Amino acid sequence: MATKTKFGLPSKDRDSYLELVLAFPLSSIRSDSHLAAAQKVMDRLLAKPRLAAGEETYLDALSDLVAVYEDEHHAIEPATDAEMLRHLLAAKDVTQTQLSQQTGIAKSTISEVLSGKKPFSRQMIRKLAGCFKIDVSILASNL
């Protein structure tokens, strides 16, 4: 007996969803080859200029399954404070001297962070976040 829920798809969108499920069933990702196949399906959907509601629903579910597998089998370590600062400097094309002048952080302190000798302090995080116009949580992941 089929039950109806308020989370179902309207009939016009159901066909695109079911077509995708039949072509690549939604199930837990079990291997790297399964992951690669799932990523190809996602890439094809993301390349489309516009997705039908059924396709969007399918893509959301498949993305969740991929994320669970990747978190368990291919976890990415958070960037170190030095890596993060190096990236921000390069992305914004700012020198250590310019950063020191803009933030009031001593150039020697910036050098120590970049060499991995010193972590970000809370005060540095606030100043850097303001300077680079990013949320403090981006820099505070290692606190």
Q: Show which of 73, 94, 123 is a domain's final residue.
A: 73
Percent of the chain with pLDDT over 90: 80
> Is 23 inside any structural domain?
yes
CB–CB of 96/107 below 8 Å?
yes
> Is 6 inside any structural domain?
no
Same domain, 126 and 101: yes
Q: Show which of 73, 91, 115 is a domain's final residue.
A: 73
Which residue pairs, CB below 8 angstroms and at least 24 apart, start in 122-126? none
As a whole number of angstroms, the distance between CA 44 and CA 61 comes to: 15
Asked whether the predicted pLDDT for residue 25 surpasses 70, the reply is yes
pLDDT score, position 77: 85
pLDDT grade, residue 31 (50/70/90)? very high
Average pLDDT over residues 104-112: 96
**What domain count does the chain have?**
2
Domain ranges, residue 66: 11-73
Residue 9's nearest CA partner among 24, 23, 21 is 21
Q: Is the pTM of this model over 0.75?
A: no
Q: Show which of 40, 57, 73 is a domain's final residue.
A: 73
> Is 5 inside any structural domain?
no
> Is 2 inside any structural domain?
no
Same domain, 86 and 119: yes
As a whole number of angstroms, the distance between CA 51 and CA 35 comes to: 22
Please write the tens of the pLDDT for every residue from 51-107. Answer: 999 999 999 999 999 999 999 999 888 889 999 999 999 999 999 999 999 999 999
Angle at 118 between CA 113 and CA 121, to 5 degrees: 90
The first and second tokens of residue 120, run together, are 């970000």
Same domain, 69 and 85: no
In degrees and rounded to multiples of 5, residue 4 shows phi and psi of -100, 140
